[in-house]
Amino acid sequence: MPTRRSTILGLLGMATTLPASPAIAQGGMAPIKIRVASVISSAWLPLWVAKDKSLFLDKGLDVEIMTVQNLSTTIGALGRQLDISGATAIDIVKAAAGGLDVVGVCGNTLETAANRQMRLIAGNQSGITSIDQLAGKTVGTPSINGVVHIATLLALKRGGVDPKSVRFIEMMFPNMVDQLKAQRVDAVEEVEPFVSALNKAGQVDLGDPMLQVGDPVTLTCWMANGTWARANPEAIARFVSALEEARAHIAGYEVDARGILAKWTRLPNDVIESIVLPTYSTALTARHISAWIEAMRETGQLSAELNPSSLVLK
């Protein structure tokens, strides 16, 4: 008897070869509607490319995109107002630890040593030149116990610093630049394109904590309510297939892809051109989730017993 994973992989292959769903090809039923949430970031460019280049529609999907401020707020809406949401592996792990039925359906971006999106950066007037000097200091973070923060805690611990000795203040990525320059914080957990701006301004690069978790390591992914995901394998297979085509389009037609990025982010052209695009990948396995479970355990942020295989759609 075929497993659910083999069924999905088979459907994914079918979705890749067919230009549209059978219903569309026969001029019958309407496309499958999927409600998707993301934030404004270059990480989610494949979603926008798939939408604007009609790749979803070609797969028989009518994808409605909702833009939110914080992806962690979408978990409660999954299976109700939303079908699929952007996420991090940490979001999935924390939801499962809280007893929610949430699964990862595919990957989105990877952090690699060859293409680093995140950096821990100290102010050039702080006197800090290495991570082991952060004890007793103040660090800006986008979200306490979020994916970037967990990576920083892990790097601190492995660097000989008690994470409890560091004071963390939550702030949005765009605000970190000014907060660091004003010396209201000693360092920040920053991501592109702000990393490049801070480096050009002469701030101090303390390295990429994300690589303490793994190299490569899953940075962002896609999640869904487990019940909905298990009941809709064809829709998910077609969604993943469209994202794969979008990834290929970005690689082959980067100028066009950056134009789509400009449209959705409304950033000026000089900023769009300077952005270092992430490494996009739809791969997501139990191993990718397990790396973050281990990181959370090592930093004392997780006590629940979880099976990483149950957190990825099979």
Q: What is the pLDDT of residues 159-177, one digit of tens each?
A: 999 999 999 999 988 899 8
| 253 confidence band (pLDDT: 50, 70, 90) | very high
Structure confidence at residue 303 (pLDDT): 92
Overall average pLDDT of the 78-85 stretch: 94
- What are 2-20's pLDDT values in tens digits? 444 333 333 333 333 334 4
Structure confidence at residue 15 (pLDDT): 36
Q: Where are the domains of the chain?
A: 4-109+217-311, 118-212
Nearest to 13 by CA among 309, 279, 238: 238
Structure confidence at residue 16 (pLDDT): 37
| 28 confidence band (pLDDT: 50, 70, 90) | low
> What does DSSP say about strands 204-205 and 138-141: parallel, antiparallel, or unpaired?
unpaired
The CA distance from 282 to 8, in Å, is 14
Structure confidence at residue 106 (pLDDT): 98
Asked if the model's pLDDT at residue 22 lies above 70, the reply is no
Coil, strand or helix at 275: coil
| 193 confidence band (pLDDT: 50, 70, 90) | confident
Nearest to 47 by CA among 266, 261, 197, 300: 261
Overall average pLDDT of the 226-247 stretch: 97
* pTM over the 0.95 mark: no
Question: Which residues, other chains included, contact 158 with Cβ-Cβ below 8 Å and sequence gap of 6+?
Answer: 212
Question: Given the structure tokens 């000026």, which residue do they identify?
Answer: 268
- What are 277-312's pLDDT values in tens digits? 999 999 999 999 999 999 999 999 999 999 999 999
CATH node for 118-212: 3.40.190.10
Structure confidence at residue 6 (pLDDT): 39
Bond into 193 cis (ω within 30): yes
| 30 confidence band (pLDDT: 50, 70, 90) | confident
Query: What are the structure tokens assigned to 24, written together?
Result: 């569309």
Structure confidence at residue 174 (pLDDT): 84
* Kind and range of the H or E run holding 86: strand 84-87
Q: What is the dihedral of CA 298, 304, 308, 314, to 10 degrees?
A: -160
Amino acid at the residue 176: M
| 230 confidence band (pLDDT: 50, 70, 90) | very high
| 24 confidence band (pLDDT: 50, 70, 90) | very low
Residue percentage of the chain with pLDDT more than 70: 91
Fold of the CATH domain 4-109+217-311: D-Maltodextrin-Binding Protein; domain 2 (3.40.190)
